[in-house]
Structure 1
Amino acid sequence: MKRNITRALLAGGSMFAAVAAATPAYAQAEADAERSVIVVTAQFREQALQDTPLSITAIDAELLRSRNQTDVEAIAAQAPSVFLNEMGGAYGDSLGASIRGIGQFDFNPAFEPGVGIYIDDVYYSSLTGANFDLLDIERVEVLRGPQGTLTGRNSIGGAIRVISQRPNAETSGYAEVSYGARDYISVRAGANFPLTDTLFMRVAGVHKEQDGYVDQVDYGCRYPNRADNIERMLPANNDSDSCVVAELGDTNYSGIRSALLWQPTPDIDLMLTGYYVTSDTNQAAETVTDFNQATFGALSVTSGAANNPLPGSYFVCGRFCTYANWSATASGQTGAYTLEPRKELDSWGLSFHADFDVSSSLQLQSITAYREYTQFFVTDDDYTPINGATGINDLDYWFFSQELRLNGQIGDNVDFTLGAFYSDQRTTYFTQQDIRYIVPNLPLQFVGDDPVNADSFALFGTVIWRPVEDLTITGGLRYTEEAKDYTFHRHNLDYSTPLTPDPFGLGPLEGLTAEYSGDQIDWRLSADYRFSPEVLAYITVGTGFKGGGVTPRPFLPQHAIQGTFGPETVTAYEIGLKTDLFDRRVRFNVAGFYNDYTDIQTPLSDCSAYGGGPCAVVANAGDGEIYGIEMELFAEPVDGLTIDGALSWLDGEYTSINPAVGAGLQLQDPIVTPEWQWSFGIQYVIDLSANGSWGTLTPRFDVAFRGEQARGRGLDPSVFLYRDDYTIANARLTWRNADDDLSISLEVSNLFDEYYIPFGFDALYGFAGTAYSQVGEPREWALTVRKEF
């Protein structure tokens, strides 16, 4: 049954009224002078966080360091309704992201991100390589709800903006070294220096490495007497009792960023920025958590594996253990091979920002950017010692974008932004796939080398109008055109054509190009009113979309030609309250929202309308609604004691699902999980002596909870499965010297050693017959020394 919008918004509105009624009207002049104001640029002009009528979580560099958050993924723990997860296994070095239950997790270039990620206003158009280290940053802004009328690219779920430190006229620097559990080593350093009176440079670098925490075990070594044709990988004379061939979940990451700022006149600001990152590791820490013996037992992959029942030892290795992927030659297959669990990423980019103050009320901004990466990774989609589902993936990518923005004022009461955005993107996706599990004894092995082109053009504008004192009305409009084409190549493993054998008809895909193009209009309208210096209330409604595309994994030519899908869209309603209470010692923000979510891009299981055969077509196959409430708190009840917290509640339902989606997704299934998510942090700065000569000692404690997450239907299709909820606690103790330029910190993450699963891949039926899951990091410690110059 479709619920009314007021269900979510009235609940939030009752809290707004209670807070407003209890708010004393304190004078702000002295408090403003004493306490810092958080400044954000979410609307591309400097505004206090509490004056911006958007749901924003803003985190500065100092708070990130105190929480030991060093990459983009980590910020999700304290941001309500946000889920970021560094993917693994079948996804490579990619970052899955959703905000308020809307996002994207598939790395394939046929799909668009659901959450926009911007590094210094440069849009990152792919999930691959998006989990940047937070190197030398000023702050992070998390914008919840659809974006587009103020940003270069449309984002249906929200946007994450990472703002780096800019070069300036001061000479300064810092160096930081950490050592910890599992031979964790992190070194980061940065320097800022003037080259001339108008030319300034800033450079920063990072390297971090750590051993993995899930052992990949040689099955033949662990079970040397089994007659199931699973060959031993380690030499017979190897003296290792553990039989471990690799440690999954390790880290080996290096990055450098440099910026050159030239200010030839007070009205011109030109900045050139470049970065390079490289990562070379084993695969993510994943283990088999379930299997369907009926499905998996049908795989004729080795002489022993074809015999039912399969021994549980193929699957059950341990909580922090999985088996190596090794295969002997099997009947009907093309050879045998070993796949090491590797993933490698090399990425670099340049951007040029040019800001011109045309007049005191008009500014022109130009942002030009270019980015490249190469990504190689190996997938083991059954996660057993039997090569039932494997793949080699190699992506070559480049992306160019140009954005122009004109920011201006008309009198004292009108601000505006007019902009244009263009991007051109090319990915060549090489893949070697061994997916013999589709139909027993009908092997499907092929090599693909697919170019994917995508481009986007948009015009957007926003007007901020203050018709009377304390009332602000904001309106925005965006027009987008986009196009994408995907050319398929299908070869035998020796690169010959046509495919032999070709049991599913993939051969005619060779050289076939599928195309998508479309346009979209989005809008936003909001009003906010400042009841007092302490209380701002706002209401907003707007739209957003995630771009359409082409089905990237067709089994028949019809799947590709007919399998283009259009944008999924959302109309979002939100009401919010922002408060600064008790001489701004307490900042409390709350928002309620309702999303009318339509044309959801969903995989189908029935391809009868697309020529039949095995099905991986993606279509706009569902509609639904999502609603929720979010709260954020920051308090300093006494000097030196700070408390921060966040809480979100999400719920919703599907209102329609195309029957071709199949029984794996039903109308009564949850459209969004988890329902509850919260975090809490507290720290206190202790002065170690009366005159401060011994410096300060700061203990800090953080805890974050994430509710149960949907898995889908298991071996019993009438039962919907969930991943367990989990609570992660971290602690940190920091000493700073009296000059505040030297600190030593001891930190413990996952303090109570919680065993948890943040993400998983379930394929118990029409796929490899197993479910494997990422395993969260166990308890670990680190000691960090930081010196600032």
Structure 2
Amino acid sequence: MRTVSYRRLLAASASISALAFSVSPATAWAAEVTSTDTATTEIANADDQQEQTRAAPAGQGDAIVVTARRREESSQDVPLAISVVGAAQLDNTGSFNVGRLQQLTPTLQYYSSNPRNTSLSIRGIGAPFGLTNDGFEQGVGIYVDDVYYSRVASATFDFLDVQQIEVLRGPQGTLYGKNTTAGAINITSNQPSFDFEGRAEVSIGNLGFKQAKAAISGPLSDTVAARLAVSATSRRGTLYNVASGNYVNEQENIGFRGQLLWRPTDNLDIILSGDYSTQDPECCGTVFVRTGATQRPLNRQYEALAAAQGYEVVSRNPFDRLTDIDADLSAGNTIGGAAVRVKWDVGPGTLTSVSAWRFWDWIPANDRDFTGLPITTQSQNPSQQNQFTQELRYNYTGDQFDFVVGAFGYHQTVRTQGTEALGSAASRWLLNPGASVVPGASGCATPTTLACDPTVLDGVVAYNDIRLDNTSAALFGQVSWHVTDALTIQPGVRLNYDKKDGLYERLVFDGDGNPVLFRDPETGALITDPRVVAQRDSLTPQRIEPSFSAWNFSYDVTASYEFAPSILGYATYAKSFKSGGINLNGVPNDSQGNPQVQVGTIRPESVDHFEVGLKTQFWNRLVTLNVAAFRTDIKDFQALVNAGQVSTTRGYLANAEKVRTQGVEVDFNIRPSDRFRLYVNGNYTDAHYVTFTGAPCPPELSGGGNGTPVAAPGTPGNSPASCDISGDPLAGVSKWSFSFGGEYNLPANLLGKEGQVYLGYDGSARSRFSSNPSPSDYTWIEGYSLSNFRLGFRSDDGLNIFGWVRNAFDQNYFEMLSVAPGSTGLIAGQPGDPRTYGLTITHNF
């Protein structure tokens, strides 16, 4: 475990924590309890309450204020499906990044084999499952204080000094700078204040868990205020690697955020912010899960290949949490940037400008063969990204009309340098034992058999040069026309331009340093030497320069009607799109070695979205019940296609004809008294391919020869070139998912402090889902449920001490299953966290 940098930050955090505990509380702070859109927010700090919640009559619940429509308003007044999670709920449940947030917002799905290969989806759509490719857009946008984060890798970092998180479901292109077809995650951090305040938090737990957070804010002058926040998380890995003697898949996160607020006049705020976060874990390893029969010859499937080299995996029980992968592992990840936000009240409206620069550096190392054999000995694609964004918005609120109009500019550069190398076990594992130099020779007793000669592939190395220049610009706007006191019509439009230019170049060399080519550089003739053919089949040289550019026009319209003071109904239609993309992982070659450049570009998705919803509150607003039903049809859905080779291409994007996701979401919250609250949120999602006739085949229909007849699934023989998976579910989507919980408290006196003793529970459950782009009998992840408990004391002057248990019943479950390359039938997986427990102490002043 790498702990040096953590200790440095822990010392700094401890200094701020000591300061926090030495200062007399300036205001009373009790608790904030927020679940989702149906939740009630409690912030007993009287000064902050006016800014963070909208007051309600005595004896009624407080409204949750959101900025989903770029203005402050109650979440119950927004004709949009939205989930809201506050800072206290994040802390109580240990949801310190987006991956853990999904347990509180069941419509959000998060999958990650490593920070770069991370995908987010809402209602089953967002990004192709299990694909690392910089050339396409995310369908779920992440915004932090109005700044768009283009890399979903940022979702793996710890939340830093967060005030509130809003998860918006459905297309958001007419309100947000970057177009998002599935939804958006809108994160608001705590802002600088002119009243001195702060917060310190320390947590410890099993698996060596340590977490420290601190934030402090106050005035520097009458017109300038500052805020500084730090966070550090460290935890031992959950898998033990017998090959290295280390625990892997650890957590090692450090983050800083600083903000300066200049308020020269009452109607002008200028905020300069900067942040820096880094991760340096030994990650991300997998465990053996199972094998499944493919259509390769039996002597080329996993069991036979392993036996031929005398290899036995360290454990066949994945929940022994043992692995023996032998390649280096690293998930070095650094992200940061700076922004200037200007908010100017110009009288009838507010003008907002957000200028930002962000960077992302990725330093990985992986074991691509998922075994303890030296097959793929090196696999890494370090990457550097820079992005610049500029957003300009004008918001107006009037008696009959409210509107927002905006312009957005975006430029991103990504530079990636990759290295892939094969080892001494590669020939025996990857090559056909019958493929020999001498016709008729076969079997390892024959020295001329390629598979028995380790020098054929040992030391073969590929160097990748991958580049992306991505430019986007948009004009967008939305109007709310209050036709009557009850009826509002809300149309919106977006005009968008996207341009992407890319380069993918892979140079391959054999173990002696000679270039591996398709054609003789002097004669131009196709090289047919069996050794060279074997080398380039395993690591294929290629160069392509794909590009894409297009204009798009999209729009939406929402009608909402207030049937009663606390009953709002709405209906929405949105015609949206997701920008086209380019393949930057390589594309298949034809038999002559020419890249199939026609698949280098991916068409835009065309989205038709329908939604109806009802938002209600009753019993003096102490009960909230919201229901939404939706249907989204997507033509030219951007889906993963797997070429099937070991390392030729790791998969590329193609367009599926049509996808549909539809379902119902219910959010319920009740707070009968200050002593008790309860929430239940659930959704049913049917996300499936309506038509996808050229899909990649699942492993049981892969690995065989070309020709007819096609063999039965899992039977050696011929395999189809592609499969028709029309009607099958999308990967990663559970039909049913729920989050639920509650808290009960009693007045108490502890350590001479007045406050509350409380017991809290938060649970989540989901039904089974496919962990492969094309559903396979081998990669279904069975449904599971998780339970988190906490017991603690919170004082009236800002002290909170609680013990917690997460995954209390030690549920064994998988976060993700992966099909090993080469159609060997090996299935590897990433087990979810076991039971964890610990203690947290926080103090607010």
- Which category of TM-score, normalised to the shorter sequence, fits these structures? 0.7 to 0.9
Residues 1:588 and 2:625 aligned together: yes
Q: Give the aligned partner of residue 776 of structure 1.
A: 832
Q: 1:306 to 1:290 in 2, by over 3 A?
A: closer
- Distance change (3 Å), C-alpha of 1:30 and 1:773: closer
Pairs aligned (count):
709
Write the distance in 1 (CA, Å) between the matches of 2:148 and 2:515: 40
Is residue 421 of structure 1 aligned with residue 408 of structure 2? Answer: yes
Q: Secondary structure at the match of 1:102?
A: coil
Separation in 2 of the partners of 1:424 and 1:439? Answer: 44
Q: Which residue is 2:32 aligned to?
A: none
* Aligned counterparts, 1:303-702, within 5 A: 308=308, 312-313=312-313, 316=316, 318-326=318-326, 339-359=327-347, 361-389=348-376, 390-409=378-397, 411-434=398-421, 440=432, 441=451, 443=457, 445-492=461-508, 498-499=515-516, 501=532, 503-504=536-537, 509-510=542-543, 512-552=544-584, 553-556=586-589, 557-604=594-641, 616-659=651-694, 661-662=696-697, 666-671=725-730, 673-688=733-748, 693-702=753-762
Distance 2:507 2:55 in 1: 72
- Partner of 1:208, secondary structure, is strand
C-alpha distance in structure 1 between counterparts of 2:359 and 2:431, whole Å: 38
Q: Is 1:253 aligned to 2:253, yes or no?
A: yes
Unaligned runs of 5+ in 1: 1-27, 219-243, 327-338, 608-612
Measured in 2, the distance between the counterparts of 1:508 and 1:431 equals 13
CA contact (8 A) 1:408 1:416 kept: yes
Taking structure 1 as the reference length, the TM-score comes to: 0.84
In structure 2, the gaps of 5 or more residues are 1-53, 433-450, 518-531, 698-721
Q: Deviations over 1:424-443 (max 9, x none)?
A: 11111111124767754575
Measure how far apart 1:64 and its partner are.
2.1
CA distance in 2, matches of 1:700, 1:661: 45
Does the C-alpha gap of structure 1 residues 306 and 573 become closer, same or farther in structure 2, counting only changes over 3 Å? closer
CA offset at residue 310 of structure 1? Answer: 6.4
Aligned mate of 1:176, from 195, 198, 201: 201
1:333-365 CA distance string (max 9 Å, x none): xxxxxx321111122200110111222x12211
Change in CA separation of 1:134 and 1:711 when aligned onto 2, cut-off 3 Å: closer
Is the contact between residue 421 and residue 457 of structure 1 (CA under 8 Å) also seen in structure 2? yes
Shift of 1:207: 1.0
Equivalents in 2 of 1:296, 1:770: separation in Å? Answer: 14
Q: Distance in 2 between matches of 1:377 and 1:538?
A: 46
The one-letter amino acid paired with 2:567 is: V
Q: Which residue does the alignment assign to 1:98?
A: 121
Residues 614 and 758 of structure 1: CA distance in aligned 2, closer, same or farther (over 3 Å): closer
Which digits, 9 at most, give the CA deviation of each residue in 1:704-763, with x for residues without a partner?
Answer: 00110113499xx98575211010000001212242x11111000000000111222124
Give the structure 2 partner of residue 18 of structure 1: none
User: Residues 604 and 376 (structure 1 numbering): CA distance in 2 closer, same or farther, change over 3 Å?
Assistant: same
8 A contact 1:287–1:774 mirrored in 2: yes
Task: Mark the CA change 1:285 to 1:691 in structure 2 (over 3 Å): closer, same or farther.
Answer: closer
1:270 is matched with which residue? Answer: 270
Distance in 1 between residues matched to 2:649 and 2:358, nearest whole Å? 36
- Matches for 1:132-151 after TM superposition, within 5 Å: 132-151=157-176
Give the AA of the match of 1:270.
Answer: I
Amino acid at match of 1:370: W
Distance in 2 between residues matched to 1:174 and 1:462, nearest whole Å: 38
Cα gap change, 1:593 to 1:438, in 2 (>3 Å): farther
CA contact (8 A) 1:38 1:49 kept: yes
State whether residues 461 and 510 of structure 2, in contact with CA within 8 Å, keep that contact through their aligned partners in structure 1: no
Q: Could you say if the C-alpha distance between residues 292 and 395 of structure 1 is closer, same or farther in structure 2, counting changes exceeding 3 Å?
A: same
Q: SS of the residue aligned with 2:185? A: strand
Cα deviation per residue 1:427-483 (whole Å; 9 max; x = unaligned)? 111111247677545757411021111111111111111011111111111111111
Aligned partner of residue 197 in structure 1, secondary structure: coil
Q: Distance in 2 between matches of 1:652 and 1:718?
A: 16
| Root-mean-square deviation (Å) | 3.0
**Aligned pair in 2 of structure 1 residues 749, 590: CA closer, same or farther (>3 Å)?**
same
> Aligned with 2:654: secondary structure?
strand
Deviation at 1:36, TM superposition (A): 1.9
Query: Contact 1:606–1:660 (CA<8 Å) still a contact in 2?
Result: no
2:253 corresponds to which letter in structure 1? Y
Partner letter of residue 529 of structure 1? Y
Q: Residue 344 of structure 2 aligns to which amino acid in structure 1?
A: F
* Structure 1 residue 59: Cα displacement: 1.2
Q: Map Cα deviations across residues 58-84 of structure 1 (whole Å, 9 max, x no partner).
A: 111122223232222222112132112
Aligned to 2:108: 82
Instruction: Please report how far the alpha carbon of residue 661 of structure 1 lies from its aligned counterpart in structure 2 after TM superposition.
Output: 4.0
**Whole-Å separation in 1 of the counterparts to 2:261 and 2:678:** 37
User: Are the aligned partners of 2:286 and 2:323 in contact in 1 as well (CA < 8 Å)?
Assistant: no
Structure 2: how far apart are the matches of 1:639 and 1:615? 54
Contact 2:293–2:301, Cα closer than 8 Å, also in 1: no
In structure 1, distance between residues paired with 2:55 and 2:843: 35
How far the C-alpha of 1:634 sits from its partner, in A, is: 1.4
| Cα distance in 1 between the residues matched to 2:577 and 2:200 | 43
Q: What are the superposed Cα offsets for residues 586-637 of structure 1, whole Å, 9 maximum, x if unpaired?
A: 0111101111121111234579xxxxx9894422123122210001111101
Report the Cα offset of residue 387 of structure 1. 3.1
Shift of 1:684: 1.1
Q: Is the 8 A contact 2:779 2:827 kept in 1?
A: no
Q: What displacement does 1:538 show?
A: 0.5
Letter in 2 for 1:70: F
Moved more, 374-383 or 208-217: 374-383
Kindly indicate whether residue 287 of structure 2 is the aligned counterpart of residue 287 of structure 1: yes
> What is the match of residue 725 of structure 1?
783
In structure 1, give the amino acid aligned to 2:94. N
Q: 2: distance between equivalents of 1:691 and 1:434? A: 61
In 1: Cα distance, 2:596 partner to 2:155 partner? 30
Structure-2 change in CA distance of 1:318 and 1:775 (3 Å):
closer
CA distance in 2, matches of 1:118, 1:124: 6
CA-CA distance at 1:158 after TM superposition: 0.7
In structure 2, give the amino acid aligned to 1:463: V
AA at the equivalent of 2:251: T
Instruction: In structure 1, give the amino acid aligned to 2:103.
Output: A
Contact kept in structure 1, 2:640 and 2:773, CA below 8 Å: no
Higher mean alpha-carbon deviation, 526-535 vs 692-701, is at 692-701
Conserved 8 A contact 1:593-1:627: yes
Does 2:96 align with 1:59? no
| Structure 1 residues 93 and 186: CA distance shift in structure 2, 3 A | farther
Shift of 1:140: 0.2
SS at structure 2 position matched to 1:43: coil
**What residue is the counterpart of 2:73 in the other structure?**
47
1:754 aligns with 2:787: no
Distance 1:79 1:38 in 2: 16
**Separation of aligned partners in 2, 1:29 and 1:99:** 31
What residue in structure 2 maps to residue 121 of structure 1?
A: 146
